Structure 1
Amino acid sequence: MRSASARRLFAPSSLAALVLAGLLVGCTRERAAQTPPRLVASGLNGPQGVYVAGDGSVWVTDDGLGGAITFTAVGPGGPAQGNYGDSARVVRVTPDGTQSVVTSTPSVFVPGIGPTGGGKIAVIGSSVYIGSGVWNAAFSVGRPDKVAAVLRVGESGAQEVANIFAFEAATNPDGVAPEQGGLDTHPYGLTAGPDGQLYVADAGANAVFRVDPASGAVSLVASLAGLTGTGAQSVPTGVTFGNDGSLYVSLLSGGPFPSGAARVVKVSGGAASDFATGMTMLTDVERGPDGHLYAVSFGRFDASAGGNPFVANAGSVIRLKANGDKETVLSGLNYPTSIAFNPDGDAFVAENGVGAPGSGRVMRYTGLTRYTPQ
């Protein structure tokens, strides 16, 4: 995930009580953990969202590479030129491995940060929705169409469903002053609720919003500012509903992304409470078919490293038990950003969320819900 301020990533479901059944499950876990991952999609430019459809196809969004239309952004180093254009993509991979671009969407290149395009993916009925891009009121031009918005995408292109930036500009739920870049939005995390509404984890606004996909109306579910010990910037990244029907949100934490600051919170009645803590740089949380929640850790941040301070091959997938206990089930991932599951418990992980153009990919980890803790 990329973003337009320090509040985001860059400033760049019981087992039977039978002994025999337990032994069989244990053997299955061992075999699953030893199965090599399989490449599903490649050639992506900063993959951010991944979704497995009922027909077995895999959908993925990427950040794109910006574009030819320029604007001026003002950051800590003073004015600098950004740009945007329709270079972000929604890609579909059929069960036979055929990879094709469904549509292109806006990619906003923010100086000092990089390009930001498509976010997470949600489906209601036959409609596919994505979060799209970053925008800040301090940019020198008005918000382009389909940026800082929720989009409906399909073979005929992408249509704007909800203007999240307009709601942020009118309400500023995290209370960060406009002159400090507070009118800023990045509708990154996205899920479909049991009520037929869309729920948005906004990494820029530090809030969860509800979107009516029929009318486009936006409402505030909860402000999540100030929950990670990194100032107002908690940076919501993933959002999902648990088996208990509650809403769960992953928090990246604000820069400099201290180890242990990231967490998953439970949102109820407009307030958030800790569910699982002590993690680092969370970029997603999703419910697996086993009923457990799975969090994605992007890795670690090392300001002393020089060059790229985001440590390579330090990402992981963490199983969260019903009481919030944590089990790392997959490690050594390179900049993972999101996870999705098929009904068999296979996990599809978007990796290389930063890196050279075309280096992004989606990998399939067979039976990950059966992996034993590392």
Structure 2
Amino acid sequence: MSTARRIVLFIAAFGLVTGVIAPTASAHDRRGPVVTQLASFGNGGSVTGSTIGPDGALYVTDGNAGSVLRIDRRSGRVTTYATGLPRKALPPGAIGGPVDIAFVGRTAYVLVTLVSGKLAGAPFGNSADKNGIYRLERNGGFRVVADIGKWSVDNPPAPAFFIDTGVQYAMEPYHGGFLVTDGHHNRVLHVTRHGGISEVATFGNVVPTGLEVTNSRVFITLAGPNPHRPEDGKVLALRRGSPPREVASGASLLIDVERGPGGRLYALSQGQWDGVGEGSPALPNTGRLVVVQDDGSLAPVVDRHGRELVLDRPTSMEFVGDTAYVVSVVGGVYKIDNL
């Protein structure tokens, strides 16, 4: 069993549990980045994906509850936007259930993973629950529009895999459908809104994670295999029909990428791997928000005093203007202003 194939079982719940330590800059200092907590909602550790909705609110997925939460970006008020999705099937220490969300117009689509399948040949979850993309209907219910788990079983990667349905992680709207990363089967898929699925890119043992689509350009982060060395944490540019191009590298356990203020590319580094075992997390308070440099390096974002913004195992982020919203797997949202 390869390291990359096992790590994705744990990469979100242990490795992506998020808390953010604010820099020492004053909240009244408008000359440098400032971190504040916007919302908190304890959920037992299974919030992974996020997006900005058509109403300007932040939406996050909750794998334990099988739901989507709405967070007002002004007040921090948390409400349940939709529920009734399959919950994660594996025990604590594993991701699963709804893991990411995207809007097409005003319609919400949710990526669901690890709710059923076979783990090392042993069935888990409820076979009636599908791993794939669900659409929120007008009546408040969800409908499966793409069964990615079944497609993955029917189209296995090479070499052999440990979880037959794969571990889908991130989703972004793209060309009338969606791009989806599978950090277990090490590939990127294109999924239409009518359920068609095709492979866009295939990788070796690199663990593809976060996605960003901007102006028809596609960027992806690689977490890299154990021991998650900084040189294995990469941001790639993808173009259909061409080999992936490395944009930047140099930060360990990269798990998200977004276009931020001034058109610059930012990425989230989970931090320094603790070395305990396959799938174990980064050390606490070693995560960073990093920005792509012209020379292909990844530089940590610093406050006005030159001190790096310290993050405790971040999972996903969204930008609105010069503000980043960082979502916590254990239930919390933090703002990083003045970027």
When normalised by structure 2's length, the TM-score is 0.80
Aligned to 1:50: 50
The 3-state SS of whatever aligns with 1:43 is: coil
CA contact (8 A) 2:212 2:258 kept: yes
What code does the residue aligned with 2:37 have? R
Unpaired segments of 5 or more residues in structure 1?
Answer: 13-29, 65-86, 227-231, 354-358, 369-374
The 3-state SS of whatever aligns with 1:144 is: coil
Of structures 1 and 2, the larger Rg is shown by 1
Q: 2:107 aligns with which of 127, 131, 156?
A: 127
What code does the residue aligned with 1:160 have? V
What is the CA distance between 1:212 and its match in structure 2?
0.8
CA contact (8 A) 1:107 1:115 kept: no
| Superimposed CA distance per residue, residues 297-348 of structure 1 (whole angstroms, 9 cap, x where no aligned partner) | 112212259xx65311111111124653322116311121000011x22110
Change (3 A) 1:60 1:301: same
User: 1:169 and 1:139 mapped to 2: Cα distance?
Assistant: 14
> 1:107-146 alignment to 2 at 5 Å?
107-111=87-91, 113-134=93-114, 135-137=116-118, 138-140=121-123, 144-146=127-129
What is the CA distance between 1:56 and its match in structure 2?
2.3
> 1:1-374 alignment to 2 at 5 Å?
5-8=5-8, 10=10, 12=14, 31-44=30-43, 45-64=45-64, 87-94=65-72, 95-104=74-83, 105-111=85-91, 113-134=93-114, 135-137=116-118, 138-140=121-123, 144-153=127-136, 156-173=140-157, 175-178=158-161, 181=162, 183-193=164-174, 195-213=175-193, 215-224=194-203, 226=204, 232=205, 234-243=206-215, 245-268=216-239, 269=241, 271-303=243-275, 309-321=281-293, 324-329=296-301, 331-342=309-320, 344-351=321-328, 353=329, 359-368=330-339
What code does the residue aligned with 2:290 have? I
Please provide the CA RMSD for this pair: 2.8
| Superimposed CA distance per residue, residues 94-146 of structure 1 (whole angstroms, 9 cap, x where no aligned partner) | 34433111223223243573342222222211112222122543332576345
Unpaired segments of 5 or more residues in structure 2?
Answer: 15-28, 302-307
Q: How many residues align?
A: 306
What is the CA distance between 1:33 and its match in structure 2?
2.5
Change (3 A) 1:146 1:247: farther
When normalised by structure 1's length, the TM-score is 0.73
